[in-house]
Copies of this chain bind each other. A is one copy, B any other.
Amino acid sequence: MIQNDLLLRTLAGKETERPPVWLMRQAGRILPEYRAIRSSLSGFKELVSTPDLAAEVTVQPVDILGVDAAIIFSDILVIPECMGLDYTMVEKVGPRFPETIGTEADVDRLISGPDAAERLQYVFDAIHATKKLLDNRVPLIGFSGAPWTLLAYMVEGGGSKTFSTAKSLLYREPALAHKLLNRITDTVIAYLKLKIESGVDVVQLFDSWSGILSQSLYRTFGLPYIERICDAIKDQTPTIVFSKGAWFALRDIKKIDGVTVGLDWQTEPELARDIFGKHRVLQGNLDPSCLLSTPQVIESDTTNMLQRFGGHHVANLGHGVYPNTPVEHVKAFINTVKSYRY
C-alpha cells in the first residue's frame, strides 16, 4: 500500500513519530517548475482541465519539496461550473461569473447531484493520472469548497471583500438560500464520492469565506451542510474541515464526529487544545506571512508551533502559501517538521 502513510496514520488517530506535513496551495505558483508549465498554456483553467498536466503539477511538490501528501491540483469553482454556472479566471483579479444566481428560477435552472458531478470527468481522470505518477509514495488529498463558500461565489459573481450581495440573500430570502445550498450539497457529495472512487485517500472541505458570517448565520447556512457532507462520506475516507476565520464555530465543528479540524493562524494552539482536547486531530496553522521572513525565524516558529500542538497534529500553514514565498523558505518549514520528533 502507501509507503509514506504518516498522514493516514495521523488522521486515523494513531500516535506517530512526528507530524506529517503538507501545505495548502503547495501545487502552484511557488514552484518555478509549475510556472514553466503554466506559462505554456492559455490560462489556469486549461491546466485544471488537462488531466496529465494537472497530475504533473500535483506531484511536483512531492518530488521537489518532499511533502508527506499530494493534493490534487484543481479549483473549488468546478462545482458551480458543473452545475451550469461557468466562470472565467481573470489573471491577478480572480474568478468572474458572467451569470449569477439571484432568483428561484436561477436555482431551478441549475443541474445538481450526480448529473452535475459526472460532468467533471477531467478531475477524475487527473486523479487516476496522479495516482499512477505517485506510485503509492504518499497519499492523495481531494477537496471541495464547502456549500456556503460556493454559494457566495455563485451569488456574488466573483471575489469580494464583503460578499455583501451573497450575505444579503441569507437575510432576504433564507428559503431560497437553503434551496441553493441543498443543491450545492447534493453536488458536492456526488463529486466527493466520485473522487474517492477515483482514488483520493483523504478529503478536505474548504470553507474559505466562513469568517465573514456571524455565528448565527454560519449555524444556519454553513455548518448543517458541512455536517451532511461529512456524514455522507465518513465511512469512505478521512475528512478535514477547514472553516477559515470561523473561530466562533470551533465548538460546533468539534461535534462533527471524527473529522480533522483545520485551523487558521489566529487560533492559538493552546485555545485549540482547550476546545478540542488532546486527542482530536488538528491541522495547521503557521502564519503564511512567517514564510516571508528568514529560515531561522521559520525554523524557530515552526518548532514552537509543533511543541504547542503536541501530538495528533498535521503540520500545515493557517492558509494557502503565498505566491511570492521563496522555495527555500517553504523547504525550511517542511524540513523543520520532518526532523522533529515527539
Contacts and interface: CB of A to CB of B under 8 A. Distances in A.
Given A247-B248, A287-B167, A289-B162, A172 B266 contact: no
Interface residues of A, number: 32
A293 B164 CA distance: 10
A324 B156 CA distance: 14
A171 interface: yes
Count of identical protomers in the assembly: 2
A292 B164 contact: yes
Given A164-B324, A214-B287, A265-B214, A294 B248 contact: no
A327 interface: no
Nearest to A285: B214
A168 interface: yes
Contact of A266 (B214, B290, B324): B214
A171 B289 contact: yes
A322 interface: yes
Given A164-B289, A170-B289, A215-B268, 12 more contacts: A162-B289, A164-B322, A168-B289, A171-B289, A171-B290, A171-B292, A172-B297, A214-B265, A214-B287, A216-B268, A247-B248, A247-B266
